[in-house]
Structure 1
Amino acid sequence: MEVCTPLKSDSRLKHRSMTPLRFLRGVICLVVFLSTAFMCIVYLSPLAVVGLRLISIRYSRKAVSFFFGLWLSMWPFLFEKINKTKVVFSGDSIPMRERVLLIANHRTEVDWMYLWDLALRKGRLGFIKYILKSSLMKLPIFGWGFQILEFIAVERKWEIDEQILQQNLSTFRDPKDPLWLSLFPEGTDYNEQKCKSSQKFAAEVGLPVLTNVLLPK
């Protein structure tokens, strides 16, 4: 892992042009990643969830985390080694093998995947869980996977979500249960249209008008 000081405002990020070879390499990485995800969700996870759950929730979680981490470890390899993408970490150091609450901006649709690069280096790749919008639970195959992995689905309405969060997080009270809980307060990925809507709402209710991120939900 490369740890650097934060980028200065006048820093210029280098972007490589898209070539047919790079495009093909990216498509191959995506196909491998999605196909293996299907295999893990359909064939491996049910054994850990249904079989071990009857004996011990703790051991069931360990088994699911093992398979989940094994699959996720392909992402840093494909992303950094095969696709030749340089990942730079800066800022405060996160302790190894500790329970962590991760709060991140949501600039792109794949921000949640970049956290895997960090979790791998901290020995917590299989234990990362996300608080996500409930509509994602309806995705074919992957929605089932999110439930197996115990991701927390919210409606983005506090009067509903307060009880949901309390019920789900209460099952992780044991400090021996490893946990990296990831939260994207903006609730959705960033784009110009969403930014304008966020700014309009902020101005109407007297909240700070943000320019580079969305108003937290």
Structure 2
Amino acid sequence: MTWMNNSCLVTLAVLLLWRVEEIAEACSCSPAHPQQAVCNSDVVIRAKLVGRQEVDAGNDIYGNTIKRIKYDVKQIKMFKGPSHDIDAVYTAPSSSLCGVSMDTTGKKEYLITGKLETDGTMHVTLCDFIDQWDAMTATQKKNLIQRYESSCDCKITHCTSIPCVLSSPTECLWTDWVIEKTVKGEQAKHYACIKRNDDSCAWYRGSTPPRKEFLDIEDP
């Protein structure tokens, strides 16, 4: 009986160890407001994906081959990025490693934000903002050109539980999660955090340029 108990304890310990390793390997990142994602990215494009293949991307420190998924890209528009077109996007091979899965039939258009590597290739993870173009609001599409990048000096603070506190007048409090239990709420869909004339920042709804009385907080 003692032997069986010890065996069970060993088995349980092994299972717990596997579970800890799985959790440690899982992809984890804080969601970003679309404006913040655009400001933090090296590349922002609208594109279709027309192919997918697994490729080798060198070796890790142990000599094991690193695998990447290469998506062939048909770029439609570049909102931010290098002087050359993006013809491929690379990501990890599984979601546990923050890899992104996207449709490659060429029927869906995506807005894709990501990082530019030193070799000029674009890499994306689940932590980047990636959404189907048709699912984005008209305001988000306008803000890609008119609002987001012009106010990258503003900081968007993600509120995950009440109370939430701002530490600077250059911050905007992002409350979609605590109010709507989603990171794709009203502020993400329809608002931009823009800089006012006194260098403070505030949420602005709409895609048209804000009125002077909004920018100048001393006006009535």
What is the TM-score when the length of structure 1 is the normalising length? 0.19
Question: Which has a greater percent of strand?
Answer: 2
Whose relative contact order is higher, 1 or 2, with alpha carbons under 8 Å and at least 6 apart? Answer: 1
Question: Which has a greater percent of helix?
Answer: 1
Q: Max radius of gyration: which structure?
A: 2
